[in-house]
């Protein structure tokens, strides 16, 4: 209120006067902020934004005006909020531009969520290529590439990368046993993009060799990405890199440490302070600066296949990235996948492998009952689950150190049958299969957990039971009775051991759960090989050989391995000769004759029958495409189509599926699940 000339001005108390001044300052700041928000930046006033929306018809960039207040922070790779469709939507700025093709006034960016650029241009482009390759939406791929924000972690500084004391030429000595590795390393140090498929020999210390590769790239000023199947493999390579290069040169990206720790390591890479990344699936998208090398180890492990849309495989992501950023690429493992063999067949990559003489020196691998002498010593070798030859091998190994017994199933006695007539034992309550969970527990149903202590066979009336399929617990129990003075250790399920000492002991483990023995195992025995080959899968022989090779890969130099099975089976012969390359060649030829991947490209479409009919009407498939089905699935409400094209038409198939998805999304039709090149059919 303004005083009249006849009235003196009111003297406000000090506290009130301060509050009035504070209110006026806040109002002025609010007016200034609104002016800044309304005023558009003069330099590059347009932000190209990709939205975090899993809708195929919105999978493109949208232009927004950049307010003056956000002009410095809203750079490529930063997170923003925008107004879209009447609601606030998250997104990323992928570029700034001076002009737009949009007619009319651009809506301004609503908020700069973070000024931290976490989506690099190279990774943004990779996400688009992966989405196109798998007929998906790039927003789904970006969720795999960029971890959720952890605001307090962004405020923490990243320590600078220490000076590297590693001599890049040390890698030549480490890889000396592999003649073809020398030119690969030379090209890597010179900044060229060599590509190779590496078949590791038995007992190879693969974490050390991969650490030398990454060290050689870093010494040449280039970064590396090394992807492994699980956290146990990541821990082994993490330890090898630390021992070789020291602290502060690499990060391990996986989910186990928690969101804050993972985001902290991710920021170290995005800020350019760490240039070696070790991790599982999401590490393939790490924003490594000056990337010079990508590696995938054990690419046949199904853990490399992403279970979320658009279901990319790590190997394919890294190969796309190698082409996009012109980096060196290495696909390695003890076994060789058909896809890796295809890279050699097409000339895309070169082979790195041990000479045959060196393979024979590494380990002695055999199959029980493979010779007349072995059958004379033990006539039941072909029928016994643990024949005398296996016991002799374990006894020989225990005199020299720990031994490993691999069995394909966890548990005790997983299935039971009548001892007399072999009829499967069933629960009287629900007809589910009976099992034993321990040596002293009564039979119980695997479905409803009803115990059946007084079971009798419905066919012959016998009360005795046998176990045609046993697990690691029963195997450990039996071996404990056979070797009463030796410690027996199990590793399976949720009780997986990472390492064991060099002391003599028997380790019983399921595939993938084998602990690493200090100094290596003296003997590795592979049981129930018939079960691994009996899986209903196109990849059953390939997967069986991979599991066996990974177990034999843990043997010490000069150790032994014995597989219990039919010596005439080709995949066991490939194991005995350590001829994973020859096996992959034969598998690839059979796949070509059957027109199966990788000779052909395949996509599966799963959904309700009406939705599949709608999709087929919208699909513009290549002329050579085959449509197989639809066929029923385990879900009675869903059916599945299989689309098959020659490999040369794979890109056209993915684009046709992507375009159909965009049309269906725009029309809000019932969704379907599309998988391009699924890991299993």
| Sheet with strand 521-526: strands edge to edge | 363-367, 555-563, 521-526, 403-406, 506-509, 488-491
The answer, yes or no, to whether residue 11 has pLDDT greater than 60, is no
pLDDT at 266: 95
pLDDT at 318: 98
Average pLDDT over residues 340-360: 95
Distance of CA 253 to the CA centre of its chain: 12
pLDDT at 468: 66
pLDDT band at 382 (very low <50, low <70, confident <90, very high): low
- 127 labelled binding-site residue: no
Residues in contact with 481: Cβ distance below 8 Å, sequence separation at least 6, in sequence order: none
pLDDT at 455: 83
The answer, yes or no, to whether residue 255 has pLDDT greater than 80, is no
Share the mean pLDDT of the chain: 90
Q: Which CATH superfamily is domain 170-354 in?
A: P-loop containing nucleotide triphosphate hydrolases (3.40.50.300)
| Residue-wise pLDDT tens digits, 406-426 | 998 877 666 778 877 778 888
- 445 labelled binding-site residue: yes
pLDDT band at 531 (very low <50, low <70, confident <90, very high): confident
Residues in contact with 225: Cβ distance below 8 Å, sequence separation at least 6, in sequence order: 277, 283, 284, 286, 288, 291, 293, 294, 295, 318, 321
Question: By the 8 A CB rule, do 127 and 145 touch?
Answer: yes
| Radius of gyration of the chain, Cα coordinates, nearest whole angstrom | 31
Distance of CA 92 to the CA centre of its chain: 25
pLDDT at 237: 97
The answer, yes or no, to whether residue 435 has pLDDT greater than 90, is no
pLDDT band at 380 (very low <50, low <70, confident <90, very high): low
- Quote the tokens at residue 580: 């994973």
The answer, yes or no, to whether residue 587 has pLDDT greater than 90, is yes
Between 38 and 6, residue with greater pLDDT: 38
- 549 labelled binding-site residue: no
Instruction: Give me the sign of the Cα torsion angle 576, 580, 582, 587.
Output: positive
SS3 569: coil
Return phi, psi of residue 626, to 5°: -115, 140
Average pLDDT over residues 512-536: 90
- 460 labelled binding-site residue: yes
pLDDT at 680: 84
pLDDT at 176: 96
Average pLDDT over residues 465-473: 75
Neighbours of 221 (CB within 10 A): 12
The answer, yes or no, to whether residue 111 has pLDDT greater than 60, is yes
Specify the pTM: 0.88
> Percentage of the chain surpassing pLDDT 70?
93
pLDDT at 310: 95
> Percentage of the chain surpassing pLDDT 90?
72
The answer, yes or no, to whether residue 327 has pLDDT greater than 50, is yes
- Has domain 595-676 been given CATH number 3.30.70? yes
Average pLDDT over residues 80-96: 95
Give the domain 363-411+471-592 fold.
Answer: Rossmann fold (3.40.50)
**Which DSSP string do the residues of 280-315 spell out, in sequence order?**
SGGGGG---TTEEEEEEESTTSGGGB-SSTT--BHH
Average pLDDT over residues 444-451: 85
| Residue-wise pLDDT tens digits, 191-218 | 999 999 999 999 999 999 999 999 999 9
Average pLDDT over residues 117-136: 96
pLDDT band at 373 (very low <50, low <70, confident <90, very high): low
pLDDT band at 530 (very low <50, low <70, confident <90, very high): confident
pLDDT band at 2 (very low <50, low <70, confident <90, very high): very low
CATH code 3.40.50.300 region(s) in the chain: 170-354
pLDDT at 351: 97
The answer, yes or no, to whether residue 590 has pLDDT greater than 60, is yes
Between 268 and 494, residue with greater pLDDT: 268
| Residue-wise pLDDT tens digits, 338-348 | 999 999 999 99
DSSP 436: B
DSSP 426: B
pLDDT at 280: 95
Instruction: Give exposure, 649-659, as e/b (b: 16+ Cβ within 10 Å).
Output: bbebbbebbbe
- 227 labelled binding-site residue: no
| Distance of alpha carbon 616 from alpha carbon 628, whole angstroms | 12
């Amino acid at each position: 209120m303004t005083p009249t000339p006849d009235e003196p001005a009111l003297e406000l108390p000090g506290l009130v006067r301060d509050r009035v001044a504070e209110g006026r300052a806040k109002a002025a700041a609010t007016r200034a902020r609104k002016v800044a928000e309304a005023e558009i930046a003069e330099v590059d006033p347009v932000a190209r934004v990709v939205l975090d929306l899993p809708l195929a018809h919105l999978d493109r960039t949208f232009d927004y005006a950049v307010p003056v207040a956000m002009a410095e922070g809203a750079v490529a790779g930063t997170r923003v909020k925008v107004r879209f469709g009447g609601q606030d939507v998250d997104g990323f700025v992928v570029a700034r531009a001076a002009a737009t093709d949009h007619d009319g006034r651009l809506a301004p960016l609503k908020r700069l969520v973070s000024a931290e650029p976490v989506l690099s241009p190279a990774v943004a482009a990779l996400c688009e290529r992966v989405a196109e390759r798998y007929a998906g939406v790039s927003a789904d791929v970006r969720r795999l590439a960029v971890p959720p924000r952890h605001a307090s972690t962004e405020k923490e500084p990243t320590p600078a990368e220490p000076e590297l004391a590693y001599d890049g030429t040390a890698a030549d000595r480490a890889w000396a046993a592999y003649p073809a590795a020398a030119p690969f390393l030379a090209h890597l140090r010179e900044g060229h993009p060599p590509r190779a498929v590496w078949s590791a020999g038995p007992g190879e210390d693969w974490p050390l060799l991969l650490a030398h590769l990454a060290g050689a790239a870093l010494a040449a000023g280039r970064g590396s990405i090394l992807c492994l199947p699980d956290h146990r493999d990541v821990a082994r390579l993490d330890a090898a890199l630390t021992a070789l290069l020291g602290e502060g040169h690499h990060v391990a990206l996986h989910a186990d440490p928690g969101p804050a720790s993972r985001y902290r390591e991710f920021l170290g890479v995005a800020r350019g302070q760490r240039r070696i990344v070790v991790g599982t699936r999401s590490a393939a998208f790490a924003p490594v600066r000056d990337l010079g090398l990508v590696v995938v180890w054990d690419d046949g492990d199904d853990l490399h296949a992403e279970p979320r849309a658009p279901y990319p495989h790590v190997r394919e992501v890294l190969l796309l990235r190698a082409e996009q950023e012109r980096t060196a690429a290495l696909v390695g493992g003890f076994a060789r996948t058909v896809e890796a063999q295809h890279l050699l067949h097409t000339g895309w990559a070169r082979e790195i492998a041990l000479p045959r003489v060196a393979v024979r020196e590494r380990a002695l691998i055999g199959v029980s009952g493979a010779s007349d002498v072995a059958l004379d010593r033990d006539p039941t070798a072909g029928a016994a689950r643990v024949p005398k030859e296996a016991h002799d091998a374990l006894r020989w190994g225990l005199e020299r150190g720990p031994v490993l017994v691999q069995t394909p199933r966890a548990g005790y006695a997983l299935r039971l049958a009548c001892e007399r007539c072999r009829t499967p034992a069933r629960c009287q309550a629900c007809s589910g299969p009976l099992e034993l969970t321990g040596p002293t527990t009564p039979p119980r149903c695997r479905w409803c957990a009803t115990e059946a202590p007084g079971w009798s066979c419905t066919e012959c009336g016998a009360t005795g039971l046998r176990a045609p399929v046993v697990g690691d617990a029963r195997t450990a129990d039996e071996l404990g009775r056979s070797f009463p003075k030796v410690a027996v250790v199990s590793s399976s399920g949720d009780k997986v051991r990472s390492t064991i000492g060099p002391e003599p002991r028997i380790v019983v483990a399921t595939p993938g759960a084998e602990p690493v023995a200090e100094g290596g195992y003296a003997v590795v025995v592979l049981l129930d090989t018939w079960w691994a080959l009996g899986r209903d899968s196109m990849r059953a022989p390939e997967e069986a050989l991979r599991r066996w090779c990974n177990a034999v890969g843990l043997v010490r130099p000069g150790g032994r391995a014995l597989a219990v099975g039919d010596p005439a089976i080709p995949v066991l012969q490939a194991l005995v000769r350590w001829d994973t390359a020859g096996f992959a060649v034969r598998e690839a030829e059979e796949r070509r004759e059957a027109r199966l991947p990788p000779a052909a490209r395949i996509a599966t479409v799963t959904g309700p029958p009406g939705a599949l009919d709608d999709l087929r009407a919208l699909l513009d498939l290549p002329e050579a495409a085959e449509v197989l089905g639809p066929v029923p699935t385990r879900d009675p409400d869903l059916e599945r189509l299989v689309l098959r094209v020659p490999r040369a038409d794979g890109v056209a198939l993915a684009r046709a599926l992507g375009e159909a998805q965009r049309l269906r999304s725009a029309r809000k039709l019932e969704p379907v699940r599309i998988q391009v090149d699924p890991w299993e059919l």
